[in-house]
Amino acid sequence: MANVVVVGTQWGDEGKGKIVDWLSQRADVIARFQGGHNAGHTLVVDGTVYKLHALPSGVVREGKLSIIGNGVVLDPWHLVAEIDEIRSQGVDITPETLKVAENTPLILPFHGELDRAREQQTSVAKIGTTGRGIGPAYEDKVGRRVIRVADLADAATLKLRMDRALIHHNALRNGLGLEPVDREALLSALNEIAPRILPYAAPVWKILTEARKSGRRILFEGAQGSLLDIDFGTYPFVTSSNVIAGQAATGVGIGPGAIDFVLGIVKAYTTRVGEGPFPTELVDSDGQRLGDRGKEFGTTTGRQRRCGWFDACLVRQACATSGVNGIALTKLDVLDGFETLKICTGYELDGDRLDHLPTAADLQIRCVPVYERMLGWTESTAGARSWADLPGAAVKYVRRIEELIQCPVAMLSTSPERDDTILVTDPFVD
């Protein structure tokens, strides 16, 4: 049996939550391997809506082990609040069903304050972050001054880590006109939250190694989308971690040989939240229609998403960098009723034709999409559970996407409901 990595292959918001939840019925372990609570997953299970940010999507399924890996940055107060919220909806979350890697870095209040202060500066271009401290926490991890989950268990170590972090942060805060961090108040807050976090702490790398040896199936869950990857995204308008499939191994502490199948989640059109280039963006009635029908508002921030036609060029690029074996195509039903659809097949840049988005930011902005037109369909695809339920024009649209991105469709999602899914290839079958 295979172990599967799920990654977004656009700018996020592709519907990973539903797909991971759907796949989790075939998995034994669901492991989140990067990102923070800036990512949002909405699950609809038997009419109940669950909004997850830090917790893996598998927590809503009984009998599954959910894991938060070391590649994640974790706000301990948010985690506790989210656990309480999901419990209030009838889901049992315990230290037996949820494990948090001991070496997971913590997001502290001064990370969010720094994040927001930077975004408020008018002298530099805004990145469009959620202001939740994700980027500054990753900076501290690389700078070797972050506080990790295991540090909460020892007062002396916690103070040492705190002092190292504050030497750096108080200097930054002074330059931004912020007051120094209240060291004692923050230490007190961490000591208060520690008993709520430490019961979940565990050597995740060891648990996953043993799970793999015993033949248990592991589902690796990513956040954001590949086009927000710190290395391969539209830099600097990206997230602060590696999002592509290779991060699944280092983000939980298991070798790359554990990955058997990479499933890329792809929306049937394109959306983006925040700043940055977006070649196929629509600022007309078609873009508004996509946003309204697709309910394109962020789960975490509520920000309206920018909408545009499907960009096959970018998805092909993302499938290559993540080694995607098959895609799960979502939100096909949002396109119902469009008389004509467009697919971006490449770009024109200063008279030249390109089959990929260039790395340089000034070149990305000047790329003009080259479109291929396709007939739309008037029939509804919502709730379809087999190819026979789809209009012929919808099937042609899906098949053309497969050709252009050079990757087959493994799954097709036709509504937010868990069971409204057409399975072509089961990623868990080796």
Residues with Cβ < 8 Å from 291, sequence gap 6 or more?
A: 271, 304, 305, 307
222 contacts 7 by C-beta, under 8 angstroms: yes
Amino acid at 106: L
Q: Give the C-alpha distances (Å, rounded to integers) separating 86 from 52, 79, 139, 194.
A: 8, 11, 30, 20
Q: What are the catalytic residues?
A: 13, 41
> Three-state SS for 85?
helix
What contacts 24+ positions apart, CB below 8 Å, involve 156-163?
158/187, 158/190, 158/191, 159/187, 162/186, 162/187
Residues with Cβ < 8 Å from 48, sequence gap 6 or more?
A: 89
**Taking the mean position of all CA atoms in its chain, how far away is CA 133?**
16
Closest by CA to 55, choosing from 244, 223, 203, is 223
What contacts 24+ positions apart, CB below 8 Å, involve 364-369?
364/234, 364/277, 364/279, 365/277, 367/277, 367/279, 368/279, 369/279, 369/280, 369/309, 369/311, 369/313, 369/344
